[in-house]
């Protein structure tokens, strides 16, 4: 399924969600399954272990699209 993450209700038939969420709020906090998402580094440094297994992306990864902030991705396994 390809959709706007913010407009889709959690659905137990999906065990993995891969997303590039908005860089505000805490949209990455969902329950049940595995979540892989690109986030600003502040999600990790400000929210710590609530994010999941953190991996830094190279500096300037999104500079071409006008988002020149430190980013990374997390992998989070969340019980249902």
Looking at the domain assignment, is residue 57 inside a domain? yes
Q: Which helix (H) or strand (E) holds 38?
A: strand 33-40
What are the structure tokens assigned to 25, written together?
A: 């709020």
Looking at the domain assignment, is residue 7 inside a domain? no
Looking at the domain assignment, is residue 43 inside a domain? yes
Global pTM exceeds 0.75: no
Looking at the domain assignment, is residue 1 inside a domain? no
Looking at the domain assignment, is residue 71 inside a domain? yes
Tens of pLDDT, residue by residue over 7-65, are 877 777 777 777 766 666 666 666 667 778 888 888 888 876 566 789 999 999 988 88
Looking at the domain assignment, is residue 9 inside a domain? no
Neighbours of 66 (CB within 10 A): 6
Looking at the domain assignment, is residue 8 inside a domain? no
Looking at the domain assignment, is residue 4 inside a domain? no
DSSP codes of every residue in 13-42: T-SEEEEE--SSTTTT---SEEEEEEEEHH
Cα–Cα distance measured from residue 26 to residue 47, given in angstroms and rounded to the nearest whole number = 9
Domain membership of residue 60 as a residue range: 16-22+31-78
How many domains does the chain contain in total? Answer: 1
């Amino acid at each position: 399924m390809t959709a706007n993450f913010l407009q889709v209700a959690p659905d137990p038939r999906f065990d993995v969600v891969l997303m590039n969420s908005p860089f505000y709020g805490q949209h990455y906090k969902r329950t049940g399954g595995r979540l892989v998402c690109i986030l600003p580094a502040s999600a990790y440094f400000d929210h710590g272990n609530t994010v999941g297994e953190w991996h830094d992306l190279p500096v300037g990864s999104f500079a071409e699209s006008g988002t020149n902030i430190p980013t990374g991705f997390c992998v989070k396994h969340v019980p249902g």
